Amino acid sequence: MLPRLQLFQSEWVTFAAFFGLIIILIGLSELLRSRLHWTTESSRKFVHILVGICLLFSLFLFKSNTQPIILAIIFIFINGAALKMERFAAMHATRRKSFGTVYFPVAYLILVLGWWDNPASLITALLLLTFADTVATVIGESVHTPDTFVVWQDIKSVQGTIAMFLMSIVLIAGGIIFVSHCLGDQMTAPKLLIPKVLFIAFLATAAEAASSRGSDNLSVPLITVIGLDLYNKLAASNEISLFLVSILVALILSFTANYFRSLTNGGALGATVMGIFIFSIGGLEFLVPILAFFILSSILSRLGKKRKIDRKHQFGKGARRDIVQVFANGGIPMLIAIWYFYTPSPELYIVYLASLAAATADTWGTEIGFFSAKPPRNITTFRKVTTGSSGGVSLLGTFGSILGAAAIGGISYLFLKDLQSLILITSAGFAASLVDSLLGSTVQANFECTDCHVLTELEIHCDRRAMKVRGIREITNDTVNLLCTLSGAVIALAVITYYLDSI
């Protein structure tokens, strides 16, 4: 454990004093902002660093994580309320709408809940959360004509991204060395420390580059601690070669897909990170099914491409997958793989495959359904709808969904050699595709263009904000795809749980 600094006899008194200190610092930042006429960005960075330092300091004040958990929960509510009411401009105000001040305590809560007994990972993650992104932002904004790019929504600069990577290297190495010194552990050999630092720095930089509206305050620390756990486990079992191979395979596959225009640049970055985690955690058993999904689905997407050009204008669905589409289809399987990493079980592997079967069934149903001679019908109203519309089903598309789910089920048989698992995975995948159609027909947002009056799934059409005619504005096709893969996993997990309980 880390050395403790006992300020008061009771840790609850220390907690009260620590909480009061953070409130005073936030109030002080408001005062300085108004008196010194700081920009809102400058004051926000000032608060970010001050609070981050306080959270780092908290690790040395409390013996258990009880007080830090309570502290995090309190500030989740305080920051959320302040953001909603537009209070504390020094803490929240930015040039764009950001939820970073809410993600910050959420990340701290998850870290102290899951990694309190792992101080090296905890301190490293908090160091990156506190300093890395702030330094990257300052450097990126200091360049008069930066080279910019967009992975998700926010505009990033190449100069800021390079600064993020270099700063991450310094902070990760410093955090690991500092904790080793505090705990009296033997220093990690440079030949093992250097690849670890570079790997985590790459993950943190990728998470920051792909962030939007302050989501890096959550994604950067979480990907840091999970990456450290993964690397440490592989190093302890002398499987670093598998780790290196996973990086190489993920890079080759992702950028090959980018070269053949199956993935955008952002999609290739997301697929690389996803591939590294999935292959490092589960080897070929986990990689082959998701690889089959992406390759076969990409081939299907390119078939009949000319027939889909007009549909893309209406529905925004193209053959090239961006990072949002990559994680909408593969994000839940990746999270299940990470769950499997911490609590491995054969049942979780089946759940992982069922989630992939759902993504494949949904994708194949859409792609094969494009070739139907008859227009699809809405799954809830049975009225004819335009080919490609969410919620539309056809006989050919339904056959495609069954075929897609069965393809993942068949691949599972290569590894599980179990007919019951094949049937479960196929059934869960197909059922989830029906859930996808149901959600697409009911809650997914649909709009009418105010210029050309076409019905569309795009909120912006003809360079104008379209009028919502159905569903919930925040629920897009990507949201429905994410819920589809989640429902496939939930259906399989429910069947497995019921079956096990009934024995």
Mean pLDDT of all residues belonging to the chain: 87
Categorize the per-residue pLDDT at 503 as very low, low, confident or very high, splitting at 50, 70 and 90.
very low
Each residue's pLDDT tens digit, 368-389: 998 888 889 989 988 888 877 7
Q: Give the 3-state secondary structure of residue 158.
A: helix
Strand partners, 446: 470
CB 276 within 8 A of CB 247: yes
Query: How far, in Å, are 133, 156, 210, 227 from residue 219 at the CA level?
Result: 12, 16, 9, 12
Each residue's pLDDT tens digit, 41-94: 777 788 889 889 999 999 999 999 999 999 999 999 988 888 777 666 555 555
Through-space distance between the first and last CA atoms of the chain, rounded to whole angstroms: 43
Dihedrals phi, psi of 384, to nearest 5 degrees: -70, 135
- Residue 246 tokens, joined: 């996973």
Quote the CA–CA distance of 268 and 265 in Å, as a whole number: 5
Q: Which residues contact 309 (CB under 8 A, 6 or more apart)?
A: none
Q: Which residues contact 284 (CB under 8 A, 6 or more apart)?
A: none
33 half-sphere exposure, CB direction, 13 A CA radius? 21
Domain boundaries, the chain: 1-117, 123-238, 241-503
CB 40 within 8 A of CB 93: yes
Each residue's pLDDT tens digit, 101-121: 899 999 999 999 999 999 999
Categorize the per-residue pLDDT at 96 as very low, low, confident or very high, splitting at 50, 70 and 90.
low
